[in-house]
Homo-oligomer: A and B are copies of this chain.
Amino acid sequence: MAADDVPWLTPEQLRAWLALNALTEVLPSAVDAQLKRDAGINRFEYQVMAGLSESPGRTIRMSVLATFASGSLSRLSHALTRLESHGWVVRRPSADDPRAVEAVLTDAGWAKVQETAPGHVREARRLVVDVLSPAQTAQLERICMKLLDAVGPDQADLLRSMPLRAADD
């Protein structure tokens, strides 16, 4: 399944790879911890609600929302069940396609996002944004987009297609 002639990594490459690995493990935990502690939700659930809150009609189809939140449809479905049980989100069959389902953020959900966002942004600043120089921030974005493209284009394309008014998460 794996040939033996895979070129080994140079020390520079290895350092970057290991550092990135560590970061992808540690940074999500830190963000999760903040959200869990202050708002009782996790990163994925926040991402879902934040996405909805930015969307016209506070509504997004499940499959699109899953891509936006970078998770599987199954994961989203379970998460939505949790969010529904808190009254933050509601499911509704899509008008366009009867097979499809749309998630809608309720007023309570909107309020939850509003009250959660500042603490989350603060953490984003503390851990990432305020740590980097403007040049590094730009570099980071380019690098991430390149890497996202390598994993699979959907994610990156969706990000590129976003209006990106300077808002919340």
Q: What residues of chain A have their CB less than 8 Å away from a CB belonging to chain B?
A: 1-4, 6-28, 30, 38, 43-44, 47, 69-71, 115, 118-119, 121-122, 124-129, 131-132, 134, 136-152, 155-156, 159, 162, 164-169
Determine how close the nearest CB of chain B comes to the CB of A168; give it in whole angstroms: 8
Can you report 23 residue pairs joining A to B where beta carbons are below 8 Å apart? A6-B122, A7-B125, A8-B121, A12-B138, A16-B132, A18-B169, A19-B145, A20-B128, A21-B47, A22-B148, A22-B159, A23-B144, A23-B148, A25-B28, A25-B70, A26-B155, A27-B147, A27-B151, A30-B152, A128-B147, A136-B143, A136-B146, A139-B139
Q: Is B22 touching A125 in the complex (CB atoms < 8 A)?
A: no
Shortest Cβ distance from residue A29 to the other chain B in the assembled complex, whole angstroms: 8
Most B CB contacts (10 A, CB to CB) among A18, A141, A144, A156 go to A144
Which one, B10, B140, B162, contacts A143 given CB within 8 A? B140
Tell me the dominant secondary structure on chain A's binding face: helix
Which B residues are in CB contact (< 8 Å) with A149? 131
Closest to A149 in B: B131
User: Which of B10, B147, B148, B169 interacts with A166 by CB under 8 Å?
Assistant: B10
CB closest chain-B residue, reference A38 = B1
Known: A118-B3, A121-B6. A18 touches B147 (CB 8 A): no
